[in-house]
Amino acid sequence: MTRIRPAELDERLDSGAPPFVLDIRPRPDFQKTAIENSQNVPVYSDLQSGNESPLRDRLDEIPRDRDVVVVCKLGMVAKRATTVLDEEGYDAATLLGGISGWNGYQAGSLGYKLRSLRWKYL
């Protein structure tokens, strides 16, 4: 399974071929804070409980001609979504640290800096 760090995603979002950012968190969480231009398919609770069907039922909302980066709260449930997408033939990656990692990256927080050092060795 592929993972992507927030800094790498930020660079890719500014490129000529940005990935499709799929935020799987519940809609209220997505409405509070989200990565610019990300799309919400709120299947977090389903995936957390082991039910992949709601995501599989909504694959038509996810473009097949772009790389996909999956976002959740901390990155754990996004791994399940990434696995489903990989099985379905998508080129998908999980955002390390989820939206929490993204927000820490954007703020330049010490917590993010420490986590990013650890990620270098994953």
pLDDT band at 122, cuts 50/70/90? low
Do 102 and 6 contact (CB within 8 A), yes or no? yes
- Count how many domains the chain has: 1
Residue 80 clears pLDDT 80, i.e. is over it: yes
- The domain spanning residue 107 has which CATH number? 3.40.250.10
Domain limits for position 19: 2-119
Report how far Cα 66 is from the mean position of its chain's Cα atoms.
14
Q: What is the predicted pLDDT for the residue at 6?
A: 94
Q: What is the predicted pLDDT for the residue at 110?
A: 64
Torsion region of 33: left, alpha or beta (phi above 0 gives left; psi -120 to 50 gives alpha): beta
Question: Which tens digit of pLDDT belongs to each residue from 33-60?
Answer: 999 999 999 999 999 999 999 999 999 9
Q: What is the predicted pLDDT for the residue at 104?
A: 87
Tell me the CA distances in angstroms from 16 to 5, 33, 37, one per residue in order. 19, 25, 15
